[in-house]
Structure 1
Amino acid sequence: GPFYFLPNMWSPCWKSDLTKEGVACLPYFYVAGFPKCGTTDLYVLLSIHPQVVRPVAKETHWVARHRFVGYNGRNKTLKDYVENFSPVMYRAVSPNSTYRADLLNPQITGDYSVTTAYEHLRWETIPGNQWCDEPLILNADLVRHMNPRAKIIFTVRNPTTSLYHVFIEDWLKRFPRDQIYVVRLEDWALNPVEELVRLFKFLELDVPSRELIEVMRHRVPANYGEVAKDQGLMSNHTKAVLDSFFRPFNARLAQLLGNRKFLWEDE
């Protein structure tokens, strides 16, 4: 990456004049996708962990959209982007405004913009993509350039509307497998706390206390009703047709991830 990250910070932070605090931070992790797959619940429950700091805004869409000139007004710079993470991280590691470079600061924060996984607006303006019929330089390349050690999280569901493997394969070409975590919405809905503990381990966080786990267990999922409502609009015949269509693509996803559960044979 282009930055010298402070060795005592778990989150990728560096000394910089981009912020008034003098320390700029990028996300430690990206919940990069996908829409309608439980990312809001993930945001709420992850934030209960004492080491996870909520960003200023849940979704910036900077990587996929707002860094480009002409999208919804002016483009947003790296300075704009880090201001979504730097102030909250600075307050978390130095609550008394006395940043200590000699202390380990295990707090982390993340970017929950689900467009990061799949949306490539204005890709033809990116150096390296000129004169190409399709993008060679993707969002994953930018994330890797900024922080090669970033952890990437995908939430997926029985894919009746998306070819997940196409996008996830692009990320697997740019990040080691152990930096990418994929969770099924179906597993998350059945065993949210168990899945959350696995996710904490992936993020290298401390497993929370039993009391905190109980707090998480009793949280009401935010958007499962909407998911169920969406699924209820689909007839059995339509679902069977779509399942048949997506079966080979699910097989490719299961092969990429080395896990047969992504075949969705348990439904």
Structure 2
Amino acid sequence: MAALLVGVCLLCMQLHMIICRPALSEKNYMSTFPFVNDEEIRKTSFKNVSHPNGTSQYLPHILIIGVRKGGTRALLEMLSLHSHISAAESEIHFFDLEDQYKRGLEWYLDQMPFSYPHQLTVEKTPAYFTSDVVPERVYNMNSTIRLLLILRDPIERVLSDYTQVFYNHKQKNKSYPAVEDLLLKNDELNTDYKAINRSLYHIFMENWLKYFPLKNIYIVDGDRLIKDPFPEMQKVERFLNLSPQINVSNFYFNKTKGFYCLRDSGRDRCLHESKGRAHPQIKPFLLGKLRDYFHEPNKKFFELVGQTFDWL
């Protein structure tokens, strides 16, 4: 017993300001994460010292891992409508950037929002999905974490990717090539273009499935989330075992912006003006090349995850 007490004291000294999360009843905890075991509960039960109001910073229970220009910000904002969700506002890039990762889990914990014990903490960084090193690092932090991956038609994602970079240059009064100049090389599709490579979903998914089973990952249909967000958010709620709080009245179509905005407790809010920008029009022959190129990669992805999307 004395040796055990000494061990506990040494552990507390090493963790500094991190203390154990108050014990949750098995019934309440397992209703949120039905497949975790006692070892994993202990592994993910660290938090910063509580504030007097009962809130603390917890390591994330949920990660939105990508994909870039797939609708991650919209998904995070919609998920935040739920009272049991506490979301980190900024992209932390903890797992994909070496300088951030070297700071350790205590630093990562300090970046989390303050939340109540009944809330689930979520962080989103779209770059996680396409990074080679992130899946293993996330697994080492929490092997039972829930992962949300939002994807769009790969061609739409390519054009959205281009649009963002184009406007980023424009805001800095810098020139940027026309989309055709980047998509084509010697009259053939430029498969070295990063925006195209990021849309080869099966390659990155294979890496994630080395560490996480499909039951840990929910793939959100980004195209459907844009067109009709409520049904998609119902599915997300069910995957996370959240009580059904998000409802159709939380969404309204903004004709000026051309996409759905949110209504929460009588307050209306829309995504930043940088969202929903019109994509460049490309010539039919180039669109055909993109469709031909992504046909097989899309099929491989569908086979990998056991479901299909309207991309073929």
Deviations for 1:210-251, whole angstroms, at most 9, x for unmatched residues? 5xx412356526379755522x33222211101101100000
Write the distance in 2 (CA, Å) between the matches of 1:187 and 1:33.
16
Q: 1:171 to 1:15 in 2, by over 3 A?
A: closer
Identity rate of aligned residues, in percent?
Answer: 21
Provide the aligned C-alpha RMSD in A: 2.8
Map of 2:104 onto structure 1: 77
Q: Which amino acid aligns with 1:64?
A: D
Q: Which amino acid aligns with 1:88?
A: F
Segments of 5+ residues of structure 1 without an aligned counterpart are 94-104, 121-137
1:54 Cα deviation from its structure 2 partner: 2.0
Alpha-carbon contact 2:136-2:211 (below 8 Å) kept: yes
Write the distance in 2 (CA, Å) between the matches of 1:5 and 1:108.
13
Segments of 5+ residues of structure 2 without an aligned counterpart are 1-18, 34-40, 156-195, 254-259, 262-269
The partner residue of 2:146 within 148, 151, 165 is 151
State whether structure 2 residue 107 is matched by structure 1 residue 58.
no
TM-score by length of 2: 0.62
Deviations for 1:6-51, whole angstroms, at most 9, x for unmatched residues? 65266975346xx343966211111101111111111111101011
Write the distance in 2 (CA, Å) between the matches of 1:184 and 1:14.
31
Deviations for 1:106-148, whole angstroms, at most 9, x for unmatched residues? x10111011111134xxxxxxxxxxxxxxxxx31111112111
Q: In proportion to residue count, which structure has more strand?
A: 2
1:83 Cα deviation from its structure 2 partner: 1.1
1:259 Cα deviation from its structure 2 partner: 1.5
1:199 Cα deviation from its structure 2 partner: 0.5
Q: Which amino acid aligns with 1:21?
A: S
Alignment of 1:1-267 (within 5 A): 7-8=23-24, 13-15=44-46, 19-21=48-50, 25-55=58-88, 57-65=89-97, 68-69=98-99, 75-85=102-112, 88-89=114-115, 92-93=116-117, 105=118, 107-120=119-132, 138-160=133-155, 161=196, 162-208=199-245, 210=247, 213-217=248-252, 220=261, 222=271, 226=275, 229-230=278-279, 232-261=280-309, 264-265=311-312
Alpha-carbon contact 1:165-1:249 (below 8 Å) kept: yes
Q: 1:225 to 1:62 in 2, by over 3 A?
A: closer
Map of 2:190 onto structure 1: none
